Amino acid sequence: MSLTELLVPTFKNMLRTLSGLLEKAEQQMPDRAEGLLAARLTADMYPLSSQLRFAAYQAQEASLRLRGESIPSSLVDVATEGRHAGDVPGSLSQARARIGEALSFLDGLSGDALDAGAILPITLELPRGISFDMTGEDYARDWVLAQFYFHVVTAYAILRQQGVEIGKADYVPHMFAYLRPGTRPSA
């Protein structure tokens, strides 16, 4: 399986999941949905609005890095919004727009867009002077997928904690494409 075949469908599936989770939150809690963006699992974690932005950012950032491209300032702005979302959580329509931008970006990639990135040297520089040097394949496996899923799962957990009635089927709706006929449980 190539990096493109692994990452792009994964990003798209889970970004669509986030959109679906937000839709359920709005349907179930129309008066509280906007306020959910400021909700956190714990005081020292980023709020829901940050988790959504970080997931959208990371899907695009990884795709750019694996193509050897620079991160444009417009995308850096998404990460900056995420870091400051505790103070300025934004709106659900803004969160949906960030997810939509990421999906549009991913839709524009060719079927092998990330594949040459497997052997690229990737340097990941984090705050406080931490740096990692790895290949694109290592980066995708050990950093990108873990970080992306962390933010998606944290968003899911925040919504559950806040009382949105969602479950496993809401987290992996893309799996129903593989459902064997006659095996869907009855309500």
pLDDT at 187: 66
* Homologous superfamily of 3-178: dinb family like domain (1.20.120.450)
Q: How far apart are CA 92 and CA 89, in angstroms?
A: 9
Sign of CA dihedral 50, 153, 19, 2: positive
Q: Are 37 and 92 in contact (CB under 8 A)?
A: yes
Give average pLDDT by consecutive 10-residue segment, the chain, 187 residues: 97 98 97 95 96 98 97 95 92 95 98 97 91 97 97 98 96 94 82
Q: How far apart are CA 118 and CA 146, in angstroms?
A: 17
pLDDT at 185: 78
Of residues 113, 133, 131, 108, the one with CA closest to residue 122: 133
What φ, ψ does residue 9 adopt, rounded to 5°?
A: -65, -35
Residue-range domain boundaries for the chain? 3-178
